[in-house]
Amino acid sequence: MNERALNNSIYQFNENSPCFSDFYQLLSKLAARDFGEHKKVLMVTSATEGEGKTTVASYLAITGTLSSSDYFVLIDGDLRKPQLHKRFGLSRDGGLADILLNKKRLTEVIHKTAFRNLHLITAGRYEDKPFQLLQLNETKELINHIRLYYKLILIDGPPIIPVSDALRLAEVVDGILMVVKAGKTPRTVIKRAIDVLTESGCPLVGVVLNDRNQVLPYYYQQRYYRYNYSPTNHD
Ligand SMILES: Nc1ncnc2c1ncn2[C@@H]1O[C@H](COP(=O)(O)OP(=O)(O)O)[C@@H](O)[C@H]1O
Ligand SMILES: [Mg+2]
């Protein structure tokens, strides 16, 4: 994904946008791995913050709704630094945290967006520590409730390295898509993040290389990614 192409507001994104075909291909590759069919829940994460998790999750979901009549939902699982509501111009209130705290019902936190068939569950508000909030059973129950209604449930996850929230969520998703910002995160940190995920047992289904200057290919196998990752020099 290149910078010029993605720097615009999400509301300017459409079928003619330069990155549309990249995201469309990504969806197709995910479909080949059964996402959107039997597997429904994908968490987008990265080793550290600022690598493009929110960006990739948002455009992936929007591309899905623009290219089909299926329903998609985005969940802001990055409770410490929630961003999705800002991207979509919505209020943060009434979201994931409110459900987990039993303050709201599911129907009250599923927000419509300006994109047809794209729903959004914002982060909501809380006072507890996010890790405590993401109690396994409650989070699982929420996911299981909405599983039937959507083609794909995309969780904009927390980063892996600084906190353990991502691992909590990893226990309730069907797979993980990792975003790596080219030239930003040291290779050792990326490797550590992949090791942490591997230990969690949640399948890593793909890696998106988010490059500021050019569109780079997506690498789908952890093995391939690990041994063939070449750093870019132009960032
Ligand atoms: N490929 C890209 N091109 C241009 N800007 C990008 C790209 N990817 C991310 N950004 C910008 O970089 C910043 C961090 O991205 P974001 O998706 O919020 O990261 P994260 O969710 O991992 O913290 C945002 O301002 C976003 O708009
Ligand atoms: Mg984010």
Residue from 55, 76, 156 whose mutation best tests the ligand 1 pocket (most atoms within 8 A of CB): 55
Domain assignment present for 228? no
**Residue 84 parent element (H or E):** helix 84-87
Residue nearest ligand 1's atom 15 by CA: 52
Per-residue pLDDT of 1-23, as tens digits, reads: 444 445 458 888 899 988 899 89
Q: Could you say which DSSP state residue 158 is in?
A: P
Residue nearest ligand 1's atom 9 by CA: 52
Name 116's Cβ contacts closer than 8 Å, sequence gap at least 6: 65
CA of 54 to the centre of ligand 1 (A): 7
Domain assignment present for 92? yes
CA of 83 to the centre of ligand 2 (A): 5
Q: Mean pLDDT of residues grouped by 10 in the chain (235 residues)?
A: 55 88 92 93 95 94 96 96 95 94 93 96 89 86 93 97 89 94 86 90 90 51 33 32
Q: Could you say which DSSP state residue 159 is in?
A: P
Domain assignment present for 80? yes
Domain assignment present for 165? yes
pLDDT of residue 213: 57
CATH label of the domain that carries residue 203: 3.40.50.300
Nearest atom in ligand 1 to 49's CA: 23
Q: Which structural domain, as residue segments, surrounds residue 212?
A: 18-220
Question: Do β-strands 72-76 and 152-156 pair in parallel, antiparallel, or remain unpaired?
Answer: parallel
Domain assignment present for 10? no
The answer to whether the CB of 74 falls within 8 A of the CB of 112 is no
Domain assignment present for 1? no
User: Which residues sit with their C-beta closer than 6 Å to ligand 1?
Assistant: 1, 3, 6-7, 46, 49-55, 83, 210, 212
Domain assignment present for 185? yes
Domain assignment present for 2? no
CA of 49 to the centre of ligand 2 (A): 7
pLDDT of residue 130: 83
Q: Could you say which DSSP state residue 7 is in?
A: S
CA of 6 to the centre of ligand 1 (A): 8
pLDDT of residue 12: 87
Token reading at 44: 């987008």
pLDDT of residue 61: 97
pLDDT of residue 77: 96
Number of folded domains that form the chain? 1
CA of 180 to the centre of ligand 1 (A): 11
pLDDT of residue 31: 95
